Structure 1
Amino acid sequence: MWLEILLASVLGFVIYWFISRDKEETLPLEDGWWGPGAKPAAREDESIRPFKVETSDEEIKDVHQRIDKFRLTPPLEDSRFHYGFNATYLKKITSYWRNEFDWKKQVDILNRYPHFKTKIEGLDIHFIHVKPPQLPAGRSARPLLMVHGWPGSFYEFYKIIPFLTDPKNHGLSDEHVFEVICPSIPGYGFSEASSKKGFDSVATARIFYKLMLRLGFQEFYIQGGDWGALICTNMAQLVPSHVKGLHLNMALILRNSFTLTLLLGRRFGGLFGYTERDMELMYPFKEKFLYSIMRESGYMHIQCTKPDTVGCALNDSPVGLAAYILEKFSTWTNAEYRNLEDGGLEKKFSLDELLTNIMLYWTTGTIVSSQRYYKENLGQGWMAHKHERMKVHVPTGFAAFPFELVHVPEKWVKFKYPKLISYSYMARGGHFAAFEEPELLARDIRKFVSLLEHQ
């Protein structure tokens, strides 16, 4: 009888294990057409064309005239950045933009790296492709796709690229040398926007996968934060056999039990797998999660529901556009910067860098299409998409920057990414990791790749 009970128990355990174990699902690799009108019968032109960023005196004159006509609303006394972008500091920015900022010089800086365009699923896709200036004898470069988010651009990666493609000349070893590809999300910057509803992160992931194949890469590494983190996650869910490794500096982990552990974690954090550092970054809960999310997510509700309405105003006023975007570069870099008169913007960035990113939205007229991305991805509600409920079964590295909008503990990351092999508490930095702390992020990417390749 005891033998029968034992055998039944073993059988029950095996059945339970089989049912409950992680199933390595993949998203279906479908197809799409996002250009205007019906998909043409002719085969799509797959050529890769060189592209150059350009400007004109007329374009610059138009910006200056619009800045000159801007109507300023004086801020409340001692309001700092608590009501949004402080108009007194905005006067300094507009003065610099109008009288000192040299857009032609910044265009030359943008053109330091090679730009290209190619048609995929009816859209003209823009990307930069930076190869190493030199390689150690007998070595090959590792292809690395890096994907930006909102309200950023491919320009966010300009400072990190040298640490990846030319590490020896930038204080790092040449054990790992990368070939970096940074595309613009369709509807952002120089990538054509979709003409049709429904263009989401999965469609973007599929397009970027096709881009990598078109460039001749069957296997590659991918890295992202913000929307880039979701797009790269979707790529790993679509084509895991092609993704050698996934590195993230942000993750969207949705699970009801995690919310419960947050409420109890202040007293019983150790029981839930939280480290002392996790506790520092997550508590007090009301301030670090509840109040922070409420304070910083108003833009998201607008863009998830009616992006075109506010977009009309932002696409018509360069100063309005700058205030809307730069406010994020203040509080998303460090929430405490809202207590400063200048929002702390120049602590991590120069005005030239910030205004270059603004000009990429302004000159391409892409603020509306970039905001629509929120409606396409989040407008149906949480957990409405299959990929949100799926795990990711490729080797993963995660960099937890201390001033990210929401801290994600290692235990949470490992739930969604079971093959997590590297989790790092970063010394400093916030949401715009590559733009703020390029060397720190580069070092963590290299650490992840080293751990993966020495397994």
Structure 2
Amino acid sequence: MWHQILPNAWENILSQIRSFEYSQKNAVLLPVAALGVGGILLCCLRSRHKVKTLEMGDGWWGSGERPLKGKEDESIRPFKIETSDREIEDLHRRLEQARYAEPLEGAAFDYGFNSNYLQRVVAYWRNEFDWHKQVEVLNKYPHFRTTIEGIDIHFIHVKPSYVPHGRAVQPLLMVHGWPGSFYEFYKIIPLLTEPARYGLNDGDVVFEVICPSIPGYGFSEAPHQKGFDTIATARIFHKLMNRLGFKQYYVQGGDWGSRVTTNMSQMLPQSVKGLHLNLVFRGSPSLRKILAVMIGAYVPWLVGFTREDAQLMYPFMQKSIYTILQESGYLHIQATKPDTAGCGLNDSPVGLAAYILEKFSTWTDKSFLHKTDGGLESKYTLDELLTNVMIYWVTGSIVSSMRYYKENFSKDPTLAVDRIGVHVPTGIAAFPHEILHTPRVWVKEVFSNIVTFSYMPRGGHFAAFEEPRLLAEHIIQFVRKVEKL
């Protein structure tokens, strides 16, 4: 409506001004006219910039139809990860019966997971990896489950062991992605809950950390109904935080966690004190962006790209079609027919490991494509990598985790973000080896309240898993700034 009111207002005011001579009386009317125009402009701007929010809605993801009567059990139940000799024996039998294909001569990871190196990983898994010990590691933090919208939600909740006098503890929800899990955050949690102990600060910013498993991942029950996307996840996680007694909190995410926490910020901005991301989705493609990429290869400043943006985008972007095809085959499968490939992975631990660990190679550093071991052990230990694989294996959650792509890509996943925008204080850590880099000028089109945007010195897609200290420092810096605002 403002675009109709404004021209009429200008026309009326200007006609009044023209009808008077420049007398003392008319000189008094000019500022009055200006004030009138200013008032109309202010009202229009307020109306135009009114913060839109994502509709929260409601959902039911349990088996069958939603019960007509009875309140949902809102209790929070302690949970413990357990294993058995039978479970391990079954795993070992399957590992021993694996069949391998010979890799091509000279092939590293450019055809996928190198099967020679895969045999080494499987040998370690069968003969040296101690799942009993890793279960103890997983249980070192308190685990819980609670029922929300008909399904059981798993999460860990870690509180600081010591809080300096007069300091407020900041609740922080951290959300993983695929093919990760809540375990990605095990190295960063102590840095956030006890930062002074690790020399990160003097205790002025201390967190209690909540890490849920996305429904269908790990120990969170899989949705039984179609349509479970990041918006439904965002709503469930808001309900989780409210059930834990938090009215305001910080949220952090990468990969799918980025989309979920962004949706949370759009859904209940009054509850999200700040949003921190280590991945920003590029948003809907457009001719303008395509032209910007083409022009930016030669004169990046002309399209608003910073020097760092240009370094991260080129020459990678100049061969991006090939690179995107090379790294996104899994996405096309999971966004269309996830159950077909998923059934095979759910039956074969060796296939599951190859499928998951290949992502921890090239998504950590694109150059690892040319290493026969995928560079995996240069950033992670086999115990760490196989523990993440085991979370998928023992819960049988690979199929339901893959379905998450179909549910989100059945409609434009960027539409809600682009249309509504994000207005809560936002911190962004851009890691140099992320799969795709989003230039700051594009980020600002969606995120209107960027408190800090940093180009990180090293690290890739699995930031909390690979570079926990760097990410922790950035989160603390961001929250410190927000608290001072």
Fold shared by both chains (TM-score > 0.5): yes
Does structure 1 retain, via aligned residues, the 8 Å contact 2:338–2:399?
A: yes
Instruction: Classify 1:13/1:269 alpha carbon distance in 2 versus 1 (closer, same or farther; 3 Å).
Output: farther
Q: Is the 8 A contact 1:262 1:285 kept in 2?
A: no
Q: 1:10 to 1:115 in 2, by over 3 A?
A: same
After superposition, residues 227-376 of structure 1 pair within 5 angstroms as 227-255=256-284, 256=286, 257-287=288-318, 289-376=320-407
Task: Indicate whether 1:150 and 2:178 are aligned.
Answer: yes
Q: Is the 8 A contact 2:417 2:446 kept in 1?
A: no
Superposed, 1:27-38 pairs within 5 Å as: 27-38=54-65
2:121 aligned with 1:90:
no
Selected match of 2:440 from 410, 417, 434: 410
Instruction: Provide the C-alpha distance between the structure 1 equivalents of 2:319 and 2:179, rounded to a whole number of angstroms.
Output: 22
Partner in structure 1 of residue 467 of structure 2: 437
Alpha-carbon distance in 2 for matches of 1:316, 1:179: 38
Q: CA deviation at 1:172?
A: 1.4
Residues 64 and 98 in structure 1, CA contact (< 8 A), matched pair in contact too: yes
Structure number with greater Rg is 2
Equivalent positions of 1:375-454 (< 5 A) are 375-381=406-412, 383=414, 385-454=415-484
Report the 3-state secondary structure (helix = DSSP H, G, I; strand = E; otherwise coil) of the residue aligned with 1:418. Answer: coil
| Contact 2:380–2:466 (8 Å) recurs in 1 | yes
SS in 2 for 1:305: coil
Contact 2:295 2:303 in 1 (8 A): no
What TM-score, normalized to structure 2?
0.90
Relative to structure 1, the CA distance from residue 29 to residue 22 in structure 2 (aligned partners, 3 Å threshold; closer, same or farther) is same
Gaps of 5+ in 2: 1-13, 20-29
**Distance (Å, rounded) in 2 between the aligned partners of 1:430 and 1:285:** 15
Match status 1:225 vs 2:254: yes
Kept after mapping to 2: 8 A contact 1:253/1:416? no
Tell me, yes or no, if the aligned pair for 1:114 and 1:129 is still in contact at 8 Å.
Answer: yes
Asked if the contact 1:281–1:288 (Cα under 8 Å) also holds between the matched residues in 2, the reply is no
Q: Give how far 1:390 is off.
A: 2.0
SS at match of 1:26: coil
- Cα deviation digits, residues 371-405 of structure 1 (max 9, x gap): 0000000123465x434422011000000000001
Q: Equivalents in 1 of 2:220, 2:274: separation in Å? A: 25
Alpha-carbon deviations, 1:48-100, whole Å to 9, x = none? 00000000000001010000110000100011000000000001100000000
Counterpart residue identity of residue 152, structure 1: G
Q: Which residue of 2 aligns with 1:166?
A: 194
Letter matched to residue 468 of structure 2: P
Alignment partners' CA distance in 2, 1:259 and 1:15: 35
Give, in whole Å, the separation in 2 of the partners of 1:168 and 1:347.
28
Range with greater deviation from structure 2 (370-379 or 12-21): 12-21
Amino acid at match of 2:91: V
Match of 1:124 in 2: 152
Tell me by how many angstroms 1:21 deviates: 4.4
Runs of 4+ deviating beyond 6 Å: 5-9
Q: Which residue of 2 aligns with 1:25?
A: 52
Give 1:284 deviation, angstroms. 1.6
CA contact under 8 A between 1:201 and 1:377: conserved in structure 2? yes
Aligned length: 454
Deviation at 1:276, TM superposition (A): 1.1
Partner in structure 2 of residue 179 of structure 1? 208
Aligned Cα root-mean-square deviation (Å): 2.1
SS of residue paired to 1:267: coil
Say which SS state the counterpart of residue 146 (structure 1) adopts. Answer: strand
Farther off after superposition, 259-268 or 345-354: 259-268
Mapped contact 1:282–1:289 kept (Cα < 8 A)? no
Of residues 411-420 and 429-438 in structure 1, the stretch that sits farther from structure 2 once superposed is 411-420
Unmatched 5+ residue regions in structure 1?
Answer: none
3-state SS in 2 of match to 1:251? coil
Aligned partner of 1:215 in structure 2 is 244
- Pairing 1:102–2:130 present: yes
Code of the residue aligned with 2:275 in structure 1: it is L
Aligned residues with identical type, % of pairs: 59
Instruction: Pick which of 50-59 and 273-282 moved more.
Output: 273-282
